Amino acid sequence: MKKATLGLGAVAIVSALAIARPVVRAADHIDGPSASADPAADITDVFAWTSPDSNQVYLVLDVVRAAGAASRFSNQVQYVFHTTSHTGFGMPASPEVNVICEFDAAQEVSCWVGNAAYVHGNASATTGLESADGRVKVFTGLRNDPFFFNLTGFKETAKLVEEAAPSLDFDAAGCPALSAATAAALGRQLKAGVHGAPVRDDFGRLNVLAIVVVLDKTLLTQTGRIVSVWASTHRKV
């Protein structure tokens, strides 16, 4: 495995999948000042799923919210998928098999899959970049933001809650007590725009920088068919 001394950058949310089941996903589009100040290390989405025949695992890590043609992966950051396998849900996890990707200044990528596989080169073409043994394929580059979010409706819902807050009762945890009618009204607002306008995907016209890795499942399922996935970025020091 590629070894380096690392400083922790941005960390994404955890997800897990059974090899015979479909998709898991996680999203984190707006972070605090520290992560947002370093867009190339700020993870927006993590996705994991299997091919229809369950022989391949697809991993996606997205960075740079509202990326443009000039956006670049950092050559000072490691992008890491952390994976463990399990014989069943709730069973002990195997040691991690990490998929580590790094970029040089020319945006060529190097990816290591544990100690078992390695790929290097320009992965920006739509056909991607394949390892010599064919067990690993990588694509890196600009892609449409895959996360659907009605941000307009969410903000309007938050506004309604703030306006109603003075008349609400809150429990010890700070959660408001809502009547059934109020809860239903807020639910409807989350599914619409301002004043009942049609819902829209506010991220639909935005792009991200995506790292897509397609793996032979045997690289990740050495101790069981249940695979857990999470992702992180690390500043190289």
Joined tokens for residue 172 = 């010890």
Question: Per-residue confidence at 61, pLDDT binned at 50, 70, 90?
Answer: very high
pTM, rounded to two decimals: 0.75
* pLDDT of 187 above 80: yes
Whole-angstrom distance, CA of residue 163 vs CA of residue 168: 10
CB 212 within 8 A of CB 139: yes
> Average pLDDT of 95-103?
95
Same structural domain, 137 and 181:
no
Same structural domain, 101 and 189:
no
**Domain boundary residue, one of 180, 196, 212:** 196
Judged on CB neighbours under 10 Å (0-12, 13-18, 19+), 61 is buried
Assigned domain for 88 exists = yes
Least confident range from 101-105, 115-119, 177-181: namely 177-181
Whole-angstrom distance, CA of residue 185 vs CA of residue 124: 45
Joined tokens for residue 130 = 């394949």
Q: Angle at Cα 97 formed by Cα 91 and Cα 98, nearest 5°?
A: 130
Same structural domain, 73 and 110:
yes
Q: Quick one: pLDDT at residue 18?
A: 58
Same structural domain, 42 and 95:
yes
Judged on CB neighbours under 10 Å (0-12, 13-18, 19+), 1 is middle
> Average pLDDT of 196-214?
87
Question: Per-residue confidence at 10, pLDDT binned at 50, 70, 90?
Answer: very low
Q: Quick one: pLDDT at residue 210?
A: 95
Residue 230 φ/ψ, nearest 5 degrees: -145, 165
Whole domain around residue 164: which residue ranges?
151-196
Same structural domain, 56 and 135:
yes
- Among 13, 64, 10, which residue's Cα sits nearest to residue 34? 10
Assigned domain for 1 exists = no
Same structural domain, 74 and 167:
no
Assigned domain for 136 exists = yes
